Amino acid sequence: MRTRRRLAFLTALAVGAATFATATPAVAAAPSDGLVAAYDFRQPSGASVPNTATGSSLGAATVRNVQSADWTSSGLTLRGGAKTSTGNWVELPDDILLGDRSATVVAEVKASQAMLNSFHFLWNVGNDSAATEYFFSSLNCGSGRTPLVGVKSSGVERLVGAPSCGVTANQWVNVTSVVDGAAGRASLYLDGIRVADAAIDRTPADVRDQSLNTIGRAPWPDPLFQGAISAFRVYDRALSSTEVAATAAADAETHADELRAQAQAILDGLALKDISTSTDIDLPTAGGRVTWASSNPALVSADGTVSAPVAGQPGGTAQLTATAAVRGVTATRTITVTVNASTETAAQRAARLAERFVIPGVLESGTALPAAPEGTTVAVRSTDGGVVVTDGVVSGADGSITVRVTDTATGATADRTFAVTVLPADSTTQLLAYNRVPTLVTEANNADVALSMHLAVGDDDSWRPLNENYGIFFPKTAVPVPANGPRDGDIRSLRDPHLFTMEDGSYGVVATRTARGGGADGTQTSSVLFARSADLRSYDEVGMVNLGVTSGVNDPAAVYDSASDRYVVSWTSDAGADMYTLFADLGDASTRGEVRRGEIAATAGVDEASVANFDSGNTVPVDADTLAALEVRFGRVVNTGVTAPARVEIAQGATLDAAALAKRVELSYSDGSKATRPVTWDAASLGAVDTSKPGTYEVTGTIKQPEYATPFADERADPSVFRWNHNGQQKFLMIATEDIYGGNIDPQGGAHMPIRVANSIKDLSDEAIRAGRNVEVDLLRRGDTDAEGRAMTGCFWAPEYHVIGGKLSILFMPCYDGANGRPDMFTGQASIIQLKKDAQGRDLDPAVPANWTKAQKVLRSNGGILNPVQTISLDMTYVEDSGQSYYVWQQLGALFIAKMDPANPTRLTSEPVRILAPEYAWDNVIAEGPNVYARDGKLYMIYSGSTVGDTYTTGLALAEAGKKVDLTSPSAWSKLNYPIQKSGVFNGSWQLGTGHGMWSQDEDDNLLYVFHARTDNNGLSGRDMFVRRVHFAADGLPIFDMESAEEIAPDNRRVTATVVVTAPTGLEVTGTVSARCIAGKVTQTVTVRNAEGFPVTVTAKGPYGTKSFGSLAAGKSSSAAFTTRQTSIPAGTVSVDATATVDGKAVTDSVSLPFAAARCG
């Protein structure tokens, strides 16, 4: 049974009485050992803030661009603004942590809402360059980020972030960043509580140039920090958790009045008042921020359970006190609860207790019945159909079970009858549904992933996770994605998923929905997330279901109760009370019954499971077909066999080469799918076949499985590889976005658009460049002008090759200088260049920049820009289907589509339509990089989401192909609920942030997936290009991460073909018949030739006689004359008979030699 571990703190009801503000207890002072800088920003004025750290040689801090209004009694207001604006910021002394391997930085700050949604540095130890080194902290909760501490050195950045935001705008928060160089770990604390901790291989000592240390100013072009700062401390050692807590408490004390007012406001929001009742009360907890205490727990407990006297007995009263706390500063309010005598009869009581006993509708044979509810006994009265219950264990076949529930207090009883489906134990598997405890992005287990429903298969006493222990069901955004783009605050996650079988045999999921990262989103006070699934491979989110409480909903669970034809939903309140209610239709809150107290044994979960970072879950039985389909979709598909090549027969003496053998062999896989791969036949094995001697031979070969370098190309993001017919010669073209150190707007050395051209895929690689087999050419560079004459100064993002209207084309996004005179991504628009042709219509050399047209923007049919809201449009791709051409691209954080005419590729012919928006935590904030492949009547559109970096993922949407479907209709596309490709281990090494992929093909027609991943290869930190082959599973979906040994099992890589050299079945004797006139009469000449390698006896017989040529030597010819004695003859034939001895056996053959009519005179 799952322990009710997550008593989320306490949630909402309105009652009212007296409120008391309690005094804050005395707190320990902040530690002084190792303190090198301490700045108190509560001074009334000035631009210099003294360093109050005793014995420190570091000087004062200087407030730049300070104004007198910036100073308040609680701290320095930081106005924010662009980095180049007159906004204020603080300059700290140089070399503040020079050479220190360990450090602690403490900042008591307020952050504006804008800061919580944008990139910034709260503080920075380093210099004015972002290229190579810094030590910093940030409170950015947008763009996939959470509060973090980070160190960058030698160009490689390491970040340690919290699983969720945990910061409220415009409220004081204590942010402590700790790096322990000796332990090799970094930690982040918010208000004295550690929210992040991870290994780190960099320290402040690695930041060697500390010539511009700041508060509120980043080395990047991020905006200045907006909010306020009260205190700032720097230690040259790692503080302990106890010391960090003491420091946070000391800083909180300076704002005690403000914090107490916040606590008071929480209680005021509950509008508490006195209560009179005879039933349990739902005590509000304001989302876990309020706790309760009772003066008379025997009458009314702190969780709201009421022990009402029986009818006729006197009632009583209890004082309930609500306490709200903010950073240890509290406020309280007390109400009076008057408890009246109960009016419930014994029969009503028995019926109420009985409804807590539920037998699930689907059971594995051998499953024990649920435990009896507390205060009852349960006995099986009868069974019907094939079901058998022995000593409380169910077996047999489908049927019904009738039980009697007895109330031990009164002796009253209630009977219940359940319909059950009993699955055979030998073909049934337990399936574990669960979420995980978030850990690290580098383990593909950050909160966006961990806080989703995962599935694992029961294997004996252990569990085998599906989908590489990655999420399978993710909740959608809190509201539909707005037309102007996704909002980070709308992203949702879940915890405590509970999977159950619904009345019709399909599946349901209930869970606690959370804000992104796991924090409360307000719904946990009263509601559960509900979704349906027909097959556990796709999910239909119904939405939030209100359970009729305000005291918190934790560990929600559900079971279908066939005895009442209701769904029982159970949960635990914030105070730990077991609660439940019944629904006729779980998707319709109007069918909900009253809320009651008590535990439902049938909804018990699992306390522990042998799954990495397991948090909370439950199990359900599934049949063999359901499991098999799950294994196909989420299991590892491996090569299980290879079909032997077809036998080859050749005639004795014939020439044998590889062309005579099978070019490809068929491979079979564990899921029932098939694939073919080319074979390279061994030259020595071919040469060993003696075609002069009849017999059976074996030729061996190796299945071709090229291994591509990892990475294939360094600092090359959004890669495109294109197989192209260049005037009859096959070529391979590569193009990508320069991503040096992750800087792709205005990269070091200036923006450019590099391409590579080769005769093979491998010769597009960096290795080929280093070996001198290829060179990279810049088609465009910073400063080149477009067709309008404007200088393109940056970006050159997401270039893709396509043939559009018969012309090799590149779709890409350049950008231009913005208001600050530097490249600005928001000036970029999807554009096209096309390769020119010569006078004969032949394509020019694509590696010559002058052979391409000037860049032109793709515009709407009326000439307007694609994105009138933000300007920027990017990641454009081209699709053809059923004779219609389309562009698909990203703008406003989503994918848009429109029709176009290849003859005029710079204009759309229909209005842009949004067809896909990022709805989940795994594809949060952005959907971009579309690319489409047609196969077996389907269009497979891959796209990427979850922002650029280690969290990048690849999604999949499908549409019908070749059926004249209007692809501009959003309903034409169906999207998977989970990524089709994500970060994970591939061939033994982690690949993070896999995405922005493109379908391609190699020299042997194998389908390829070309994509980028974020790496630190060669000490760089940008995105690198990778190449993999694609396999299609039995369910028709692509597999992008099939490893080498899974693609072709080592034992199957060598194949053998049987070659049979056949002895001749006849003799190779040829001949001709000619005619001439002698003395006015026709005379025939018959010439025969022995083409065999041995003597042959030949005889010719025709209308005008028979001639014997005797034994004709190998390769020799002989002639004989036939006198017709006629002046003319008609056309006819001469029969040639041949005999010989071959391998000791007599062989005979014959051939007919035709002749034409002839005349003399």
- Concatenating the DSSP letter of every residue in 300-325 gives B-TT--B-PPPTTS--EEEEEEEEEE
Q: Is 128 helix (H, G, I), strand (E, B) or coil?
A: coil
User: What class is the 639-705+1054-1061 domain?
Assistant: mainly beta
Compute the distance between CA of residue 325 and CA of residue 288 in angstroms, rounded to an integer.
10
How high is the pLDDT of residue 867?
A: 97
How high is the pLDDT of residue 369?
A: 98
Amino acid at 730: Q
Tell me which residue has tokens 């933000």.
Answer: 870
The reply to whether CATH 1.10.10 applies to domain 1064-1159 is no
Flag the least confident range among 599-613, 693-707, 844-858, 1066-1080. Answer: 1066-1080
Compute the distance between CA of residue 507 and CA of residue 586 in angstroms, rounded to an integer.
12
> If you average pLDDT over residues 588-595, what whole number do you get?
95
Q: Across the strands, what pairs with 76?
A: 71, 229
Strand order in the sheet with 61-64: 48-49, 61-64, 89-92, 213-215, 123-126, 134-138, 148-153, 156-161
Which two structure tokens, joined as six digits, stand for 1105? 């006689």
Asked whether residue 18 carries a pLDDT value surpassing 50, the answer given is: no
Share of the chain above pLDDT 70, in %: 98
C-alpha dihedral (969, 971, 976, 977), degrees to nearest 10: 120
pLDDT in tens, 42-64: 999 999 999 999 999 999 999 99
Cα separations in angstroms, 1084 against 592, 702, 1073, 1079, 1132? 110, 58, 7, 13, 12
C-alpha dihedral (183, 189, 195, 200), degrees to nearest 10: -30
Instruction: Give the contacts of 841 (CB within 8 A, at least 6 positions apart).
Output: none
Question: Which residue in 1040, 962, 983, 1036 sits closest to 1007, CA to CA?
Answer: 1040
* Sign of the torsion angle spanned by Cα atoms 984, 985, 986, 991: positive
pLDDT in tens, 188-226: 999 999 999 988 999 999 999 999 999 999 999 999 999
Q: HSE of 329 in the Cβ direction (CA atoms, 13 Å)?
A: 23
Q: Across the strands, what pairs with 1120?
A: 1086
Q: Are 977 and 955 in contact (CB under 8 A)?
A: no
Asked whether residue 23 carries a pLDDT value surpassing 60, the answer given is: no
Compute the distance between CA of residue 521 and CA of residue 606 in angstroms, rounded to an integer.
25
Q: Are 232 and 107 in contact (CB under 8 A)?
A: yes
**pTM for this one?**
0.84
Q: Are 229 and 81 in contact (CB under 8 A)?
A: no
Asked whether residue 26 carries a pLDDT value surpassing 60, the answer given is: no
Asked whether residue 12 carries a pLDDT value surpassing 60, the answer given is: no
Most confident option among 166-170, 631-635, 648-652: 631-635
Compute the distance between CA of residue 744 and CA of residue 1122 in angstroms, rounded to an integer.
92
Characterise 572 by phi-psi region: left (phi > 0), alpha (psi -120 to 50), beta (else). beta
> If you average pLDDT over residues 898-918, what whole number do you get?
98
Which fold is adopted by the domain 35-238? Jelly Rolls (2.60.120)
Question: Which residue in 122, 44, 116 sits closest to 78, CA to CA?
Answer: 122
Q: Is the peptide bond before 284 cis (omega within 30 degrees of 0)?
A: no
Instruction: Give the contacts of 1135 (CB within 8 A, at least 6 positions apart).
Output: 1100, 1101, 1102, 1150, 1151, 1152, 1153
pLDDT in tens, 398-431: 999 999 999 999 999 999 999 999 999 999 999 9
Q: Across the strands, what pairs with 59?
A: none
Compute the distance between CA of residue 1138 and CA of residue 1136 in angstroms, rounded to an integer.
7
pLDDT in tens, 344-356: 899 999 999 999 9
Strands 1081-1090 and 1117-1123, by their bridges, are antiparallel
Asked whether residue 19 carries a pLDDT value surpassing 80, the answer given is: no
> If you average pLDDT over residues 731-741, what whole number do you get?
92
Radius of gyration of the chain (CA): 40
Q: How confident is the model at residue 652 (pLDDT cuts 50, 70, 90)?
A: confident
Instruction: Give the contacts of 834 (CB within 8 A, at least 6 positions apart).
Output: 804, 807, 808, 809, 810, 852, 853, 905
H or E element that contains 1044: helix 1044-1047
Which two structure tokens, joined as six digits, stand for 148? 């973090």
Instruction: Give the contacts of 687 (CB within 8 A, at least 6 positions apart).
Output: none
> If you average pLDDT over residues 775-794, what whole number do you get?
97
Report which DSSP code applies to 837: B
> If you average pLDDT over residues 505-527, what whole number do you get?
94
Strands 566-572 and 1145-1155, by their bridges, are unpaired
Q: How confident is the model at residue 1017 (pLDDT cuts 50, 70, 90)?
A: confident
Question: Which residue in 741, 675, 732, 745 sits closest to 704, CA to CA?
Answer: 675
Q: How confident is the model at residue 517 (pLDDT cuts 50, 70, 90)?
A: confident
Q: Is 1091 helix (H, G, I), strand (E, B) or coil?
A: coil
Q: How confident is the model at residue 875 (pLDDT cuts 50, 70, 90)?
A: very high
Compute the distance between CA of residue 677 and CA of residue 703 in angstroms, rounded to an integer.
6
Q: Across the strands, what pairs with 529?
A: 511, 544
Cα separations in angstroms, 602 against 270, 369, 560? 34, 9, 10
How high is the pLDDT of residue 8?
A: 34
Compute the distance between CA of residue 719 and CA of residue 706 in angstroms, rounded to an integer.
19
Beta strands in 424-473 (DSSP E): 428-436, 454-459, 462-465
Q: Are 1072 and 1084 in contact (CB under 8 A)?
A: no
Q: Across the strands, what pairs with 884?
A: 881
Tell me which residue has tokens 């993710």.
Answer: 474
Convert 991-1026 into a string of H (helix), E (strand) and C (coil). Answer: EEEEEEEEEEECCCCCEEEEEEEECCHHHCCCEEEE
Question: Which residue in 344, 348, 281 sits closest to 311, CA to CA?
Answer: 344
> If you average pLDDT over residues 442-451, what whole number do you get?
93
Compute the distance between CA of residue 294 and CA of residue 304 in angstroms, rounded to an integer.
9
Asked whether residue 469 carries a pLDDT value surpassing 70, the answer given is: yes
How high is the pLDDT of residue 11?
A: 30
Instruction: Give the contacts of 248 (CB within 8 A, at least 6 positions apart).
Output: 106, 174, 176, 189, 191, 192, 327
How high is the pLDDT of residue 27?
A: 55
pLDDT in tens, 924-941: 889 999 999 999 999 999
A 10 A CB-CB count for 729 gives 8
User: What class is the 716-1047 domain?
Assistant: mainly beta
The reply to whether CATH 2.30.30 applies to domain 346-423 is no
Helix axes 256-270, 241-253, angle to 10 degrees: 80
Question: Which residue in 171, 170, 169, 188 sits closest to 179, CA to CA?
Answer: 188
Asked whether residue 291 carries a pLDDT value surpassing 50, the answer given is: yes
> If you average pLDDT over residues 1037-1047, what whole number do you get?
97
Cα separations in angstroms, 35 against 103, 106, 177, 1039? 10, 11, 14, 54
Question: Which residue in 967, 944, 807, 976 sits closest to 887, CA to CA?
Answer: 967
Convert 739-799 into a string of H (helix), E (strand) and C (coil). Answer: CHHHCCCCCCCCCEEEEEEECCCHHHCHHHHHCCCCCCEEEEECCCECCCCCECCEEEEEE
Within its chain, how far is the Cα of 466 from the centroid? 14
Arithmetic mean of pLDDT over the chain: 94
Q: Are 1008 and 705 in contact (CB under 8 A)?
A: no
C-alpha dihedral (431, 437, 438, 440), degrees to nearest 10: -90
Q: Are 1042 and 763 in contact (CB under 8 A)?
A: no
How high is the pLDDT of residue 10?
A: 29
Domains 346-423 and 639-705+1054-1061 share a fold: yes
Strands 752-758 and 823-824, by their bridges, are unpaired
Which two structure tokens, joined as six digits, stand for 350? 């028995």
Please state the domain extents for the chain.
35-238, 346-423, 427-634, 639-705+1054-1061, 716-1047, 1064-1159
Q: Are 54 and 38 in contact (CB under 8 A)?
A: no
How high is the pLDDT of residue 28?
A: 67
How high is the pLDDT of residue 478?
A: 95
How high is the pLDDT of residue 1147?
A: 86
